């Protein structure tokens, strides 16, 4: 994977007066053009000028990205509270910030396993899925150029939370844990594959048997941490079990699989299909639902599978 010299940043993260003093770029005819020099701070007048020109994404040098993303994560409540930028820009800021967290934990799991950090971001995501009218469309576009592992984890977290909030509104106290489970369901991959944050497709790696150890590896790893509850641990361990049998690692069946874990498993399969992978083109939501349902849906409870049809919208609307 080639390293880009610039990284995108949503305009929602550019808080006038306090945004780090770094050079900011726009894109003009495919080229990055210096917009604000690093010798001064981003001001309200700069913000107004960007909004007047309908610019919603700026770019920073890759070398400045760590500082900028740390700033965005620390100031997320302020960013999401802004009423001078639109919802889409705020959602993009949230997705970028959550993707940065995922990149940290997937590239260095031992030193990034801060459960509070994950929960804080997921709480914001919970608000976002209930307020953003374009959520289905956002899930499809999520993570743009990020490696598969990051995009996929972001999508599964958001899709699972969307499904949970619609199918089990009476269990909203579990919504954040559903999001945490979605973010971390494949964390075991980072313990098996050394290059998981490069743009690889898990399932095209040489040893499928080795890859199939990821639920157990992830479970053991998170359990050591002692900050994750049973819902999260169970989903990480059993998201590849199948309702009618034949899954792994336990070969569980039916109601032996917790309903929260079934929701993560179904969202996982759906999100794998709707995203471009290095080895396979993305299916549309409609095709993905049909693929899962082929052969009489041997994977998920008929009740859950039928209800899921009403969670995803084939036209991308909410």
State the residues that interact with Fe ion by CB under 5 A. Answer: 186, 268
Under 8 Å between Cβ of 233 and 188: no
Q: Given the complex with Fe ion, which of 85 and 181 has the nearer CB atom?
A: 181
Q: Which residues pair with 34 in a beta bridge?
A: 25
Q: Given the complex with Fe ion, which of 19 and 247 has the nearer CB atom?
A: 247
Q: How far is the CB of 142 from Fe ion (least distance, A)?
A: 14
Q: How far is the CB of 115 from Fe ion (least distance, A)?
A: 20
- Residue 232 CB neighbour total at 10 angstroms: 29
Residue 277: name the closest of 208, 204, 212 by CA. Answer: 204
Q: Which two tokens stand for residue 278?
A: 């290095």
Q: Given the complex with Fe ion, which of 12 and 264 has the nearer CB atom?
A: 264
Residue 147: name the closest of 70, 201, 209, 210 by CA. Answer: 201
Q: Which two tokens stand for residue 194?
A: 């050394």
Phi, psi at 201, each rounded to 5°: -100, 115
Q: How far is the CB of 305 from Fe ion (least distance, A)?
A: 18
Under 8 Å between Cβ of 115 and 228: yes
Q: How far is the CB of 152 from Fe ion (least distance, A)?
A: 6
Under 8 Å between Cβ of 79 and 126: no
Q: How far is the CB of 243 from Fe ion (least distance, A)?
A: 16
Q: Given the complex with Fe ion, which of 90 and 151 has the nearer CB atom?
A: 151
How far apart CA 59 and CA 64 sit, in angstroms, is 10
Q: What is the largest CA-CA distance in the chain?
A: 63
Q: How far is the CB of 89 from Fe ion (least distance, A)?
A: 28
Looking at the chain, the number of H-run helices and the number of E-run strands are 15, 4
- Residue 25 CB neighbour total at 10 angstroms: 20
Q: How far is the CB of 244 from Fe ion (least distance, A)?
A: 19
| Alpha helices in the chain, H assignment, sequence order | 44-52, 65-74, 76-81, 87-107, 115-131, 135-141, 148-167, 175-184, 187-192, 208-211, 214-225, 230-238, 259-274, 285-293, 302-308
Q: Given the complex with Fe ion, which of 19 and 289 has the nearer CB atom?
A: 289
What is the DSSP secondary structure assignment for residue 196, as one 8-state letter?
Answer: T
Q: Given the complex with Fe ion, which of 271 and 304 has the nearer CB atom?
A: 271
Q: Given the complex with Fe ion, which of 65 and 148 has the nearer CB atom?
A: 148
Q: Given the complex with Fe ion, which of 186 and 241 has the nearer CB atom?
A: 186
Q: How far is the CB of 58 from Fe ion (least distance, A)?
A: 32
Instruction: Give, for 35, the enclosing helix (H) or strand (E).
Output: strand 31-36
């Amino acid at each position: 994977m080639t390293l880009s010299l610039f990284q995108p940043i949503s305009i929602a993260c550019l808080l006038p007066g306090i945004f780090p003093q770094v050079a900011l770029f726009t894109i003009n005819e495919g080229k990055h053009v210096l917009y604000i020099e690093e010798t001064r701070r981003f001001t309200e007048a700069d913000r107004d000028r960007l909004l007047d020109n309908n610019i919603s994404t700026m770019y920073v040098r890759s070398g400045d990205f760590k500082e900028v993303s740390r700033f965005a994560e620390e100031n997320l409540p302020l960013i999401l509270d802004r009423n001078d930028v639109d919802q889409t820009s705020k959602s993009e800021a949230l997705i970028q910030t959550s993707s940065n967290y995922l990149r940290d934990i997937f590239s260095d799991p031992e030193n990034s396993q801060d459960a509070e950090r994950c929960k804080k971001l997921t709480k914001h995501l919970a608000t976002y899925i209930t307020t953003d009218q374009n959520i289905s469309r956002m899930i499809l576009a999520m993570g743009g150029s990020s490696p598969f592992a990051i995009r996929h984890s972001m999508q599964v977290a958001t899709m699972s939370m969307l499904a949970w909030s619609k199918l089990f509104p009476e269990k909203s106290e579990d919504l954040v844990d559903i999001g945490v489970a979605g973010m971390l369901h494949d964390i075991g991959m980072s313990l098996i594959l050394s290059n998981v944050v490069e743009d690889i497709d898990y399932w095209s790696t040489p040893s499928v048997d080795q890859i199939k150890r990821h639920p157990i590896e992830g479970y053991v790893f998170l359990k050591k941490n002692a900050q994750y509850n049973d819902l999260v641990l169970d989903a990480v361990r059993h998201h590849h079990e199948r309702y009618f049998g034949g899954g792994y690692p336990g070969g569980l069946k039916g109601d032996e699989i917790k309903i929260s874990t079934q929701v993560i498993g179904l969202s996982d399969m759906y999100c794998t299909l709707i995203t471009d992978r290095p080895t396979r083109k993305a299916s549309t939501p409609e095709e993905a639902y049909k693929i899962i349902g082929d052969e009489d849906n041997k994977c998920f409870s008929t009740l859950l599978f039928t209800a899921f049809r009403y969670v995803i919208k084939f036209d991308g609307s909410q």
